[in-house]
Amino acid sequence: MHPNPGHDRSEGPSRRSFLAAGVAAGLVTADAAAVPPNDHKEDAFDLNELGITDLQAGMKAGTYTARGLVEKYLARIEAVDRKGPTLNSVIEVNPDALARADELDKEYKRNGPRGPLHGVPVLIKDNIDTADRTATTAGSLALVGAKPPKDAFLVTRLRDAGAVVLGKTNLSEWANARCSYSTSGWSGRGGLTRNPYALDRNPSGSSSGSGAAVAANLCCVAVGTETDGSILSPASVCGIVGLKPTVGLVSRSGVIPISQSQDTAGPMTRTVRDAAVLLAALTGLDRDDPATAASRGHIASDYTRQLSDNGLRFARIGVARNYFGFHEGVDALVAESLEVIKRQGATLVETTDLPKADQFSAAESTVFQYEMKAGLNAYLARLGPDAPVRTVADVIAFNEKHADRELAYFGQDTFKKMAARDPLTSYEYQEALARCRRLTRTEGIDAVMDKLKLDAIVAPCGGPAWVTDLLAGDRYIGGDIISVAAVAGYPSITVPAGFFFGLPIGLGWIGRAWSEPTLLKLAYAFEQATKARKPPRFLATADLTVPRPIGPVTP
C-alpha cells in the first residue's frame, strides 16, 4: 500500500476539561474542509521573510527586542492563523513566551547574546515534550491532561541557546500513524491545517503545522519531526526548506515515537542558512537516546561555515531518474533546476539504481508496527500513573469511546495492527529491519554513491499539494527520494525549486550518513542561484490561469 503522505507511514502506515487553546479549533464538523472567506490583504507584516541573521542584526542595532519579536509573531498568529486565512497551523501558543522574552532581553543587555538564536521565536511540533504550560498531545484528545516529566532534550538545547518557544504546531494526529487512509494536517485536538498557498489544498504531513507556519511567517523558524517524509513532504508543498538529519544526530528523547530506526527531529525554515543555524542548536549527545552516541565526531559546532554561492562547483550530483515520471509538470520544472545546477559548475550523473519505495514499503510497515508498539508503550508509561492513557490499548479504547471526535473521518486500523505485534525480539521484525537497511543502505545509497563517486543525489520531492478531502484521504504522488533516505536513516533536504500553477515544488537532495555539511553546502548554492521561494498569497484555491511550471530564476 502506498504510504500516507507525511509519510510517517505505518501501513503502506469525564476527566478535566480539554485544553481550550487547542481544542477550541480542534473539534471540527463535517464542514471542516470548507475554506473560509479570505479577506487577508498580503502583506504589511514587518518581519516578513526575515531570517535568524536579520533578527540578530535588528537586536544588535536596537531595532528589535525579544519581547517585541514575540509580540509581533503572536499578533501575526492571531491575524493569519486564527482569523483571516485561518490556517490553523498553531495548536497552542506558549503563555510564558513573553516572560521568557523579557528574561532574555535583560540577559542580552547584561552579557550580550548567547548565540544566533538568542531571543528568536521558534515553533515546535506538538509531539515534542515541553514541561511548561503548553501541552504535548500528538494532536490526540487522548493525551490532553498528560504531563511530560521534563522537556525533550532538543527543547532543552533550544532554551539553552536562547530561543523562545513561541508555541506548538498542529500535525497529522499521531504523526500520521493511526490509520492507513488518513488526511494529513488533521488532528482531533487541533482540527485541520490549511496550505497557505491555496487554502483548499493540503499542507501534507505530519509536520503540517510547522510547514504552514514557517511558510506564512508565523515564526522565524520551526522544528518538525520525520519518520518517512514528515519534514520534507510538508516543506516541499509549503515552499520552504526542510532538513531531515541522519538518525542519531538529534536526540529523540521526549519525542513521541513511531520508529526507533527512523525517527528524527529537524529544522523547517525559509532559508538553508536558517536550517544550518537551527541544526547546530538541536544536535548533541544524549544518554537518554543511545542513537546519539553514533553522532560523536560527526557534530559540527557551526553548519554555516561551508555555505557558499560556489558550493556546487566541482560537485558530482546523481540524478535518480527512476524517481521521476510521476508528473510531467514537475519533471519540466526539475529539468530547469538541473540546468541551473550544471551552470553552477556541478557534474550531473544519471542513475536508476536506487530502490523504489514499493520494494521496501511492506518491510518498512512491519518495522514501524513493531517499533511503534514498543516505543509508544514505553513513552506512555513514563507519563506516570495520573496520565489519561498508559498503553496503546488505552489509546485505542479512548478513540472508540470518543469516536465522534476522534474517528469521524478515518479510523485506527494501523493502531490495531500495531497493538497485535510481538516484542522486538521477533524474527519477523529483525528480518524486515535487515531488508530495509540492505536495500536502502548497502545496496542503495552507499552503493550508488560509491560506484558513481557522488556528493549527493537529487530528485523531485513529490507533486503539488492536493485538494484536501477528509472523507477520501490523501492523494500524494512521488516522493521516493524522501523514503529511501528515511528508511536508510540518512540525511535529506528539500529546497524550493519553483511552482506549478502557483503551488510550490521542492527539489530533494540526499546523501550518506552524517553528510549534513555537504548537503547544506550544495543546497545553499542551489538556493542562492535560483531564489525560487516566494511567500504565499493565501488564495482560496489554486490559480489555474497562471502558466503551468514556473521554474527557478536562472543566472
One DSSP character per residue, 336-381 reads HHHHHHHHTTPEEEEE--SPPGGGTHHHHHHHHHHHHHHHHHHHHH
Could you give the percent of the chain with pLDDT greater than 90? 89
Q: What is the pLDDT of residue 547?
A: 73
Q: What is the pLDDT of residue 193?
A: 98
- pLDDT band at residue 264 using 50, 70 and 90 as cut-offs: very high
Please tell me which residue in 10, 89, 125, 483 is annotated as part of the active site. Answer: 125
Domains of the chain: residue spans and CATH = 20-308+459-550 (3.90.1300.10)
d(CA 429, CA 178): 19
Q: Residue 57 has which C-alpha cell?
A: 542584526
Torsion of CA 342, 344, 349, 354, to 10 degrees: -110
Residue 316 phi, psi dihedral angles, 5° rounding? -110, 115
CA distances from 232 to 267, 434, 493 (A): 10, 25, 7
pTM: 0.94
Mean pLDDT of 33-52: 72
Q: What is the pLDDT of residue 386?
A: 83
Q: What is the pLDDT of residue 21?
A: 37
Contact 157, 435 (CB under 8 A): no
Contact 89, 184 (CB under 8 A): no
Contact 91, 126 (CB under 8 A): yes
The residue type of 269 is T
184 catalytic per annotation: no
206 catalytic per annotation: yes
89 catalytic per annotation: no
- pLDDT beyond 80 at 89: yes
- pLDDT beyond 60 at 209: yes
How many other C-beta atoms can be found within 10 angstroms of the C-beta atom of residue 331? 14
Please tell me which residue in 10, 140, 204, 206 is annotated as part of the active site. Answer: 206
- pLDDT band at residue 181 using 50, 70 and 90 as cut-offs: very high
Mean of all residue pLDDT scores within the chain: 93
Mean pLDDT of 265-278: 98
SS3 readout for 473-536: CCCCCCCHHHHHHHHHCCCEEEEEEEEECCEEEEEEEECCCCCHHHHHHHHHHHHHHHCCCCCC
**Among the residues of 77-200, which ranges form H helices?**
97-111, 153-160, 173-176
**Among the residues of 285-326, which ranges form H helices?**
none
pLDDT digits (tens, 9 = 90+) for 336-359: 999 999 999 999 999 999 999 999
- pLDDT beyond 90 at 40: no
Give one word for 259, left, alpha or beta, with left for phi > 0 and alpha for psi -120 to 50. beta
- pLDDT beyond 90 at 365: yes
d(CA 417, CA 287): 31
| Neighbour-count burial of 404, counting CB atoms closer than 10 A to its CB (0-12 exposed, 13-18 middle, 19+ buried) | exposed
- pLDDT beyond 90 at 396: yes
Please tell me which residue in 172, 187, 230, 483 is annotated as part of the active site. Answer: 230
